[in-house]
Chains A and B, each alone.
Chain A
Amino acid sequence: MSDPNVTPHVSLLQRILIGRRPKRTLFRALVLATVAAFLFGYVLVPVRISGLSMEPSYHDHSVNLINRPLYLLREPRRGDVVAVGTTGWHIMYCKRIIGLPGETLVIRSGTVFINGQALEEPYVKARDAWEVAPVQLKAGEVFVIGDNRGMEQERHVFGIVERPKLLGPMLW
Protein backbone atom coordinates (compact mmCIF):
# COMPACT_ATOMS: atom_id res chain seq x y z
CA MET A 1 0.00 0.00 0.00
CA SER A 2 1.40 3.43 -0.94
CA ASP A 3 2.15 5.97 1.78
CA PRO A 4 -0.26 8.94 1.31
CA ASN A 5 2.38 11.34 2.66
CA VAL A 6 4.93 10.50 -0.03
CA THR A 7 4.68 12.28 -3.40
CA PRO A 8 5.02 9.73 -6.24
CA HIS A 9 8.08 10.21 -8.43
CA VAL A 10 7.34 11.97 -11.77
CA SER A 11 9.65 12.58 -14.72
CA LEU A 12 11.01 16.05 -15.48
CA LEU A 13 8.95 16.29 -18.67
CA GLN A 14 5.75 15.38 -16.87
CA ARG A 15 6.59 17.85 -14.09
CA ILE A 16 7.04 20.64 -16.68
CA LEU A 17 3.86 19.81 -18.57
CA ILE A 18 1.34 18.98 -15.84
CA GLY A 19 3.16 19.41 -12.51
CA ARG A 20 3.65 16.91 -9.70
CA ARG A 21 -0.06 16.75 -9.02
CA PRO A 22 -2.10 16.89 -12.25
CA LYS A 23 -5.44 17.47 -10.47
CA ARG A 24 -4.08 20.50 -8.68
CA THR A 25 -2.53 21.76 -11.92
CA LEU A 26 -5.85 21.35 -13.71
CA PHE A 27 -7.72 23.18 -10.94
CA ARG A 28 -5.23 26.05 -11.02
CA ALA A 29 -5.46 26.24 -14.81
CA LEU A 30 -9.27 26.42 -14.63
CA VAL A 31 -9.12 29.18 -12.00
CA LEU A 32 -6.58 31.11 -14.10
CA ALA A 33 -8.69 30.75 -17.24
CA THR A 34 -11.83 31.92 -15.43
CA VAL A 35 -10.09 34.94 -13.91
CA ALA A 36 -8.52 35.86 -17.26
CA ALA A 37 -11.83 35.50 -19.09
CA PHE A 38 -13.56 37.78 -16.57
CA LEU A 39 -10.69 40.28 -16.41
CA PHE A 40 -10.21 40.70 -20.15
CA GLY A 41 -13.86 40.28 -21.01
CA TYR A 42 -15.42 42.72 -18.57
CA VAL A 43 -12.76 44.77 -16.75
CA LEU A 44 -9.77 45.52 -18.97
CA VAL A 45 -10.99 44.93 -22.51
CA PRO A 46 -8.21 44.58 -25.12
CA VAL A 47 -8.64 46.55 -28.32
CA ARG A 48 -6.67 47.02 -31.51
CA ILE A 49 -6.78 50.51 -32.93
CA SER A 50 -7.44 50.78 -36.64
CA GLY A 51 -7.20 53.99 -38.63
CA LEU A 52 -5.46 57.34 -38.49
CA SER A 53 -7.92 59.59 -36.70
CA MET A 54 -6.05 59.49 -33.38
CA GLU A 55 -2.53 60.02 -34.77
CA PRO A 56 -0.02 60.81 -33.41
CA SER A 57 -1.36 59.94 -29.96
CA TYR A 58 -2.43 56.42 -30.96
CA HIS A 59 -1.03 54.64 -33.97
CA ASP A 60 -2.75 52.44 -36.48
CA HIS A 61 -2.66 48.74 -35.44
CA SER A 62 -1.53 49.60 -31.88
CA VAL A 63 -3.03 47.72 -28.94
CA ASN A 64 -4.57 49.08 -25.76
CA LEU A 65 -6.91 48.17 -22.90
CA ILE A 66 -10.22 49.81 -22.05
CA ASN A 67 -10.71 50.48 -18.34
CA ARG A 68 -14.40 49.62 -18.05
CA PRO A 69 -15.05 50.08 -14.31
CA LEU A 70 -13.64 53.62 -14.17
CA TYR A 71 -16.82 55.25 -15.50
CA LEU A 72 -18.76 53.45 -12.79
CA LEU A 73 -16.68 55.36 -10.25
CA ARG A 74 -16.47 58.80 -11.86
CA GLU A 75 -17.87 60.86 -14.72
CA PRO A 76 -16.04 61.19 -18.07
CA ARG A 77 -13.57 64.09 -18.11
CA ARG A 78 -12.33 66.39 -20.81
CA GLY A 79 -9.20 64.91 -22.36
CA ASP A 80 -10.20 61.27 -21.72
CA VAL A 81 -9.54 59.05 -24.73
CA VAL A 82 -12.54 56.77 -24.81
CA ALA A 83 -14.00 53.80 -26.63
CA VAL A 84 -17.40 54.63 -28.14
CA GLY A 85 -19.60 51.62 -28.87
CA THR A 86 -21.58 51.17 -32.07
CA THR A 87 -24.54 48.78 -31.99
CA GLY A 88 -22.38 46.60 -29.77
CA TRP A 89 -18.79 46.30 -28.66
CA HIS A 90 -17.22 44.33 -31.53
CA ILE A 91 -16.27 47.57 -33.25
CA MET A 92 -15.77 50.80 -31.35
CA TYR A 93 -14.58 54.29 -32.13
CA CYS A 94 -11.51 55.59 -30.31
CA LYS A 95 -11.93 59.35 -29.72
CA ARG A 96 -11.02 62.07 -27.24
CA ILE A 97 -13.61 63.93 -25.14
CA ILE A 98 -13.34 67.69 -25.62
CA GLY A 99 -16.84 68.87 -24.65
CA LEU A 100 -18.83 68.09 -21.52
CA PRO A 101 -22.56 68.20 -20.74
CA GLY A 102 -24.08 71.68 -20.69
CA GLU A 103 -21.23 73.31 -22.66
CA THR A 104 -21.41 75.11 -25.99
CA LEU A 105 -18.74 74.06 -28.45
CA VAL A 106 -17.71 75.59 -31.76
CA ILE A 107 -14.73 75.01 -34.05
CA ARG A 108 -13.40 77.94 -36.06
CA SER A 109 -10.41 77.59 -38.39
CA GLY A 110 -9.46 74.40 -36.57
CA THR A 111 -9.51 75.88 -33.06
CA VAL A 112 -11.99 74.53 -30.53
CA PHE A 113 -13.88 77.02 -28.38
CA ILE A 114 -15.72 75.88 -25.27
CA ASN A 115 -18.22 78.45 -23.97
CA GLY A 116 -16.31 81.10 -25.92
CA GLN A 117 -12.87 80.15 -24.56
CA ALA A 118 -10.20 78.62 -26.82
CA LEU A 119 -9.30 75.10 -25.73
CA GLU A 120 -5.62 74.24 -25.32
CA GLU A 121 -4.92 70.96 -27.10
CA PRO A 122 -1.23 69.99 -26.80
CA TYR A 123 -2.01 66.55 -28.27
CA VAL A 124 -2.99 68.05 -31.64
CA LYS A 125 0.13 68.33 -33.81
CA ALA A 126 -1.41 69.12 -37.18
CA ARG A 127 -4.44 71.35 -37.60
CA ASP A 128 -6.53 71.87 -40.73
CA ALA A 129 -9.05 74.73 -40.92
CA TRP A 130 -12.04 72.76 -39.65
CA GLU A 131 -15.34 74.57 -39.17
CA VAL A 132 -18.17 73.36 -36.96
CA ALA A 133 -21.24 75.43 -36.15
CA PRO A 134 -22.07 75.94 -32.45
CA VAL A 135 -23.19 72.79 -30.69
CA GLN A 136 -25.07 72.90 -27.39
CA LEU A 137 -24.43 69.77 -25.36
CA LYS A 138 -27.34 68.51 -23.28
CA ALA A 139 -27.17 66.59 -20.01
CA GLY A 140 -25.68 63.15 -20.62
CA GLU A 141 -23.93 64.19 -23.85
CA VAL A 142 -20.23 64.67 -24.56
CA PHE A 143 -18.41 65.81 -27.68
CA VAL A 144 -15.70 63.51 -29.03
CA ILE A 145 -13.14 64.04 -31.76
CA GLY A 146 -9.91 62.51 -32.99
CA ASP A 147 -6.48 64.07 -32.47
CA ASN A 148 -5.54 63.98 -36.15
CA ARG A 149 -6.95 67.34 -37.25
CA GLY A 150 -4.64 67.43 -40.26
CA MET A 151 -6.96 65.04 -42.14
CA GLU A 152 -9.98 66.20 -44.13
CA GLN A 153 -12.92 67.08 -41.93
CA GLU A 154 -15.32 65.11 -44.14
CA ARG A 155 -13.39 61.87 -43.62
CA HIS A 156 -13.30 62.23 -39.84
CA VAL A 157 -16.04 60.85 -37.59
CA PHE A 158 -16.65 63.17 -34.64
CA GLY A 159 -19.53 64.73 -32.75
CA ILE A 160 -22.01 64.18 -29.93
CA VAL A 161 -22.14 60.91 -28.03
CA GLU A 162 -24.60 59.87 -25.37
CA ARG A 163 -23.18 58.70 -22.05
CA PRO A 164 -24.32 55.04 -22.28
CA LYS A 165 -22.28 54.63 -25.48
CA LEU A 166 -19.00 55.34 -23.66
CA LEU A 167 -17.47 51.99 -22.75
CA GLY A 168 -14.53 53.44 -20.84
CA PRO A 169 -11.22 55.29 -21.19
CA MET A 170 -8.05 53.82 -22.63
CA LEU A 171 -5.66 52.53 -19.98
CA TRP A 172 -2.63 54.31 -21.47
Chain B
Amino acid sequence: MVKWLFRIAAAVVLTAALGWGWQTFFPSNERQIRRLLDRVAETVSIPTDGRFVGGVLAADRLKSYFTPGIEVDVDVPGEGRHTFTGREELTQVYLLARSQHRGLRVEFLDVLVAVGPDGQAATAELTARIRQTGDKDFGVQELRLQLHKGEDAWRIHRVETTRSIKL
Protein backbone atom coordinates (compact mmCIF):
# COMPACT_ATOMS: atom_id res chain seq x y z
CA MET B 1 0.00 0.00 0.00
CA VAL B 2 2.73 2.48 1.03
CA LYS B 3 4.77 1.48 -2.03
CA TRP B 4 1.82 2.28 -4.30
CA LEU B 5 1.28 5.63 -2.63
CA PHE B 6 4.93 6.48 -3.22
CA ARG B 7 4.63 5.45 -6.87
CA ILE B 8 1.55 7.60 -7.36
CA ALA B 9 3.23 10.56 -5.63
CA ALA B 10 6.36 10.10 -7.74
CA ALA B 11 4.25 9.95 -10.92
CA VAL B 12 2.47 13.18 -9.97
CA VAL B 13 5.75 14.95 -9.19
CA LEU B 14 7.31 13.72 -12.44
CA THR B 15 4.30 14.83 -14.49
CA ALA B 16 4.36 18.26 -12.83
CA ALA B 17 8.11 18.59 -13.46
CA LEU B 18 7.72 17.61 -17.12
CA GLY B 19 4.87 20.07 -17.53
CA TRP B 20 6.91 22.84 -15.92
CA GLY B 21 9.92 22.01 -18.09
CA TRP B 22 7.83 22.00 -21.26
CA GLN B 23 6.28 25.38 -20.43
CA THR B 24 9.68 26.82 -19.53
CA PHE B 25 11.59 25.69 -22.62
CA PHE B 26 8.70 25.62 -25.12
CA PRO B 27 6.39 28.39 -23.90
CA SER B 28 3.11 29.00 -25.69
CA ASN B 29 2.52 32.27 -27.53
CA GLU B 30 0.38 33.53 -24.68
CA ARG B 31 3.08 32.75 -22.13
CA GLN B 32 5.73 34.48 -24.28
CA ILE B 33 3.54 37.58 -24.47
CA ARG B 34 2.93 37.59 -20.72
CA ARG B 35 6.67 37.34 -20.08
CA LEU B 36 7.26 40.21 -22.51
CA LEU B 37 4.73 42.37 -20.68
CA ASP B 38 6.34 41.53 -17.32
CA ARG B 39 9.69 42.70 -18.73
CA VAL B 40 8.14 45.89 -20.12
CA ALA B 41 6.55 46.76 -16.76
CA GLU B 42 9.83 46.11 -14.97
CA THR B 43 11.81 48.19 -17.47
CA VAL B 44 9.51 51.24 -17.47
CA SER B 45 9.48 51.31 -13.66
CA ILE B 46 11.90 53.94 -12.41
CA PRO B 47 14.08 53.07 -9.41
CA THR B 48 14.40 55.48 -6.50
CA ASP B 49 18.10 55.98 -7.14
CA GLY B 50 17.88 55.99 -10.94
CA ARG B 51 21.13 57.02 -12.63
CA PHE B 52 21.65 58.37 -16.13
CA VAL B 53 23.58 55.34 -17.35
CA GLY B 54 20.91 53.04 -15.94
CA GLY B 55 18.30 55.06 -17.80
CA VAL B 56 20.12 54.77 -21.11
CA LEU B 57 20.49 51.02 -20.70
CA ALA B 58 16.83 50.69 -19.74
CA ALA B 59 15.77 52.77 -22.75
CA ASP B 60 17.83 50.56 -25.01
CA ARG B 61 16.22 47.48 -23.51
CA LEU B 62 12.79 49.06 -23.83
CA LYS B 63 13.28 49.64 -27.58
CA SER B 64 13.75 45.93 -28.14
CA TYR B 65 10.25 45.20 -26.85
CA PHE B 66 8.57 47.32 -29.53
CA THR B 67 8.42 47.24 -33.32
CA PRO B 68 10.25 50.04 -35.19
CA GLY B 69 6.91 51.55 -36.19
CA ILE B 70 5.40 51.50 -32.70
CA GLU B 71 2.32 53.72 -32.35
CA VAL B 72 1.29 55.05 -28.96
CA ASP B 73 -2.03 56.80 -28.37
CA VAL B 74 -2.85 57.22 -24.68
CA ASP B 75 -5.32 59.50 -22.95
CA VAL B 76 -4.42 60.32 -19.35
CA PRO B 77 -7.25 61.93 -17.30
CA GLY B 78 -6.26 65.47 -16.42
CA GLU B 79 -3.21 65.45 -18.72
CA GLY B 80 -4.82 64.95 -22.11
CA ARG B 81 -4.00 62.80 -25.06
CA HIS B 82 -0.44 61.83 -25.99
CA THR B 83 0.43 60.30 -29.35
CA PHE B 84 3.78 59.43 -30.79
CA THR B 85 5.29 56.91 -33.19
CA GLY B 86 8.61 55.16 -33.58
CA ARG B 87 11.15 53.78 -31.19
CA GLU B 88 13.23 56.94 -31.07
CA GLU B 89 10.34 59.06 -29.88
CA LEU B 90 9.39 56.31 -27.40
CA THR B 91 12.92 56.41 -26.00
CA GLN B 92 12.87 60.19 -25.69
CA VAL B 93 9.54 60.14 -23.85
CA TYR B 94 10.83 57.45 -21.52
CA LEU B 95 14.07 59.28 -20.72
CA LEU B 96 12.14 62.51 -20.13
CA ALA B 97 9.77 60.74 -17.73
CA ARG B 98 12.74 59.17 -16.01
CA SER B 99 14.42 62.54 -15.51
CA GLN B 100 11.25 63.99 -13.94
CA HIS B 101 10.26 61.12 -11.65
CA ARG B 102 11.95 58.93 -9.06
CA GLY B 103 10.73 55.73 -7.51
CA LEU B 104 7.89 54.99 -9.91
CA ARG B 105 6.57 51.44 -9.90
CA VAL B 106 4.54 50.22 -12.87
CA GLU B 107 2.52 47.00 -12.71
CA PHE B 108 0.40 45.37 -15.38
CA LEU B 109 -2.62 43.70 -13.79
CA ASP B 110 -5.45 41.53 -15.08
CA VAL B 111 -3.74 40.86 -18.40
CA LEU B 112 -6.01 39.31 -21.04
CA VAL B 113 -4.22 37.87 -24.08
CA ALA B 114 -5.88 36.80 -27.33
CA VAL B 115 -3.62 35.27 -29.97
CA GLY B 116 -4.84 35.34 -33.59
CA PRO B 117 -5.52 32.08 -35.42
CA ASP B 118 -2.33 32.45 -37.49
CA GLY B 119 -0.24 32.83 -34.33
CA GLN B 120 1.45 35.95 -35.77
CA ALA B 121 -0.69 38.69 -34.26
CA ALA B 122 -2.17 39.13 -30.81
CA THR B 123 -4.07 41.58 -28.66
CA ALA B 124 -3.50 42.15 -24.96
CA GLU B 125 -5.72 44.17 -22.66
CA LEU B 126 -4.49 45.13 -19.24
CA THR B 127 -4.80 47.60 -16.39
CA ALA B 128 -1.62 49.49 -15.59
CA ARG B 129 -1.13 50.66 -12.01
CA ILE B 130 1.44 53.39 -11.52
CA ARG B 131 2.53 54.10 -7.98
CA GLN B 132 5.17 56.26 -6.35
CA THR B 133 7.34 54.20 -4.01
CA GLY B 134 5.99 54.38 -0.48
CA ASP B 135 2.73 56.03 -1.54
CA LYS B 136 -0.64 54.33 -1.12
CA ASP B 137 -2.27 56.35 -3.92
CA PHE B 138 -1.82 55.28 -7.54
CA GLY B 139 -2.74 56.11 -11.11
CA VAL B 140 -4.68 53.72 -13.34
CA GLN B 141 -4.60 53.33 -17.09
CA GLU B 142 -6.48 50.70 -19.07
CA LEU B 143 -4.55 49.76 -22.19
CA ARG B 144 -5.01 47.70 -25.33
CA LEU B 145 -1.83 46.47 -27.01
CA GLN B 146 -1.44 44.98 -30.44
CA LEU B 147 1.51 42.66 -30.88
CA HIS B 148 3.23 41.11 -33.88
CA LYS B 149 5.48 38.09 -33.92
CA GLY B 150 8.76 38.85 -35.65
CA GLU B 151 11.49 36.41 -36.60
CA ASP B 152 12.60 35.82 -33.06
CA ALA B 153 10.10 37.29 -30.64
CA TRP B 154 6.82 39.04 -30.01
CA ARG B 155 6.95 42.82 -30.10
CA ILE B 156 4.42 45.50 -29.29
CA HIS B 157 3.17 47.38 -32.34
CA ARG B 158 0.46 49.62 -30.94
CA VAL B 159 -0.55 50.90 -27.50
CA GLU B 160 -3.83 52.71 -26.96
CA THR B 161 -6.05 53.68 -24.08
CA THR B 162 -9.20 51.70 -23.57
CA ARG B 163 -11.95 52.51 -21.09
CA SER B 164 -14.50 50.61 -19.05
CA ILE B 165 -16.19 53.97 -18.41
CA LYS B 166 -16.70 55.78 -21.71
CA LEU B 167 -18.02 59.20 -22.56
**Least distance between A84 CB and chain B CB atoms (Å):** 6
A50 with B126: in contact, given A87-B111, A93-B164 (CB under 8 Å)?
A: no
Q: Tell me the chain A residues, 115-172 only, with Cβ under 8 Å from chain B.
A: 132, 135, 144, 152, 154-161, 165
- Distance between Cα atoms of A50 and B78 in the complex (Å): 17
Contact in complex: B110, A159 (CB < 8 Å): no
Q: Is A8 an interface residue (CB 8 A)?
A: no
Contact in complex: B110, A158 (CB < 8 Å): no
A-B contact count (CB 8 A): 65
Contact in complex: B138, A50 (CB < 8 Å): yes
Contact with A along B154-165 (1 / 0, CB 8 A): 000000000111
Contact in complex: A156, B77 (CB < 8 Å): yes
Residues of A within 8 A of B163 (CB): 157, 159
Contact with A along B130-167 (1 / 0, CB 8 A): 00000011101010000000000000000000011111
**Least distance between B155 CB and chain A CB atoms (Å):** 21
Q: Tell me the chain B residues, 72-92 only, with Cβ under 8 Å from chain A.
A: 77-78
User: How large, as a class, is the contact surface on chain A?
Assistant: 20 to 34
Contact in complex: B127, A88 (CB < 8 Å): yes
A61, A85, A154: the one within 8 Å of B77 (CB): A154
Residues of A within 8 A of B78 (CB): 152, 154-155
B111, B125, B138, B167: the one within 8 Å of A159 (CB): B167
- Distance between Cα atoms of A158 and B164 in the complex (Å): 10
Contact in complex: B167, A87 (CB < 8 Å): no
Contact in complex: A86, B136 (CB < 8 Å): no
Residues of B within 8 A of A161 (CB): 164-166
A159 with B165: in contact, given A87-B111, A90-B110, A154-B77 (CB under 8 Å)?
A: yes
Q: Which residue of B lies closest to A144 (CB)?
A: B165
Contact in complex: A84, B164 (CB < 8 Å): yes
Contact in complex: B127, A95 (CB < 8 Å): no
B110, B125, B129, B165: the one within 8 Å of A93 (CB): B165
Residues of B within 8 A of A156 (CB): 77
**Least distance between B94 CB and chain A CB atoms (Å):** 23
- Distance between Cα atoms of A160 and B163 in the complex (Å): 10
- Which of A61, A87, A91, A165 has the most C-beta atoms of chain B within 10 angstroms of its own C-beta? A87
Contact in complex: A157, B165 (CB < 8 Å): yes
**Least distance between A97 CB and chain B CB atoms (Å):** 12
Residues of B within 8 A of A95 (CB): 165
Residues of A within 8 A of B164 (CB): 84-87, 93, 161, 165
Can you list 11 A-B contacts (CB < 8 A)? A84-B164, A86-B164, A87-B109, A87-B110, A87-B112, A88-B127, A91-B129, A135-B167, A156-B77, A160-B165, A161-B166
Query: Lowest 6 A-B CB distances belong to which pairs?
Result: A88-B110, A159-B167, A155-B78, A86-B127, A87-B110, A90-B109
